[in-house]
Structure 1
């Protein structure tokens, strides 16, 4: 019988929680043939190590009358940290990602209307060091 590594078990726990963050430690333990205590200990350790940032839900903002946009932002390299600090101050920005590829940053914005979303994009454009802003409002969540 091949024994699973700690990393494999942790990855299985993460996959279960990713699909349903409401899964109880008892349920996860039964799925993985481990005790509730073992699952609790592993999850607590992953939280302490920053592997698990937070437990959350995925909201279809369109269904609650809001507008969500994943917006790409190109920033001059010397201004990156300053721009991030300014973006953190904008209330409607849910997440900020530093990326490689087409954009320096991608931000997840949740606004009450397209008008408010446009105002947020203009606010981002006005930040010193921002080169371009590329809005991409989400039309539908597939998965």
Structure 2
């Protein structure tokens, strides 16, 4: 599905919503220099086109008892489509996996796993990841700190 072209007003709307998705329509319209009705139409069109994929609250993982981020590089035994699909389907079911990317290079996947402690990561490995057919190797790295994490795309 082709993406609709974004003009400057659309980009300003997206920047404003990325910064605060709880803006009222009146506040958003004022920020981007439109009246509420055309602003609402633009937002609706971007939602329908999938440009705005949804709205969510950003939760601080440490404050909810999940302070550990582990980055795991996964290599599969084979990179056939059915193996890649099976892996992706399993990962989507695991709530500990916050992010997962199919990669180029030495490894097939890079995942960010969020857990409460090292023991929880060990359980995740033993009960889920290592039991999945087709996993050849797993390389884990524990994040010591977070320097930057952003959900805001550089649209301007």
TM-score scaled by structure 1? 0.77
Greater fraction of residues in helix = 1
Q: How do 1:17-96 residues align onto structure 2 when only pairs under 5 Å count?
A: 17-66=17-66, 67-75=68-76, 76-78=78-80, 79-96=83-100
1:47-69 deviation per Cα after TM superposition (whole angstroms, max 9, x unaligned): 22222222123322123321333
Contact 1:121–1:133 (CA under 8 A) maintained in structure 2 = no
- Does structure 1 residue 125 correspond to structure 2 residue 126? no
Q: What SS is found at the alignment partner of 2:7?
A: helix
**Partner-residue secondary structure (3-state), 1:85:** helix
Alignment counterpart, residue 112 of structure 1, candidates 111, 116, 134:
116
Unaligned runs of 5+ in 2: 149-156
Q: Per chain length, whose mean CA-contact separation is higher, i.e. which structure has more relative contact order (CA < 8 Å, sep 6+)?
A: 2
Separation in 2, partners of 1:62, 1:15: 27
Two-structure CA RMSD over aligned residues (Å)? 2.5
Give the conservation status (yes or no) of the 8 Å contact 1:121–1:135: no
Deviation beyond 6 Å, 4+ runs, structure 1: none
Shift of 1:102: 5.3
User: Greater shift after overlay, 75-84 or 56-65?
Assistant: 56-65
Q: Structure 1: give runs of 5+ residues left out of the alignment.
A: none
More displaced stretch, 32-41 vs 133-142: 133-142
Partner residue, 1:140: 145
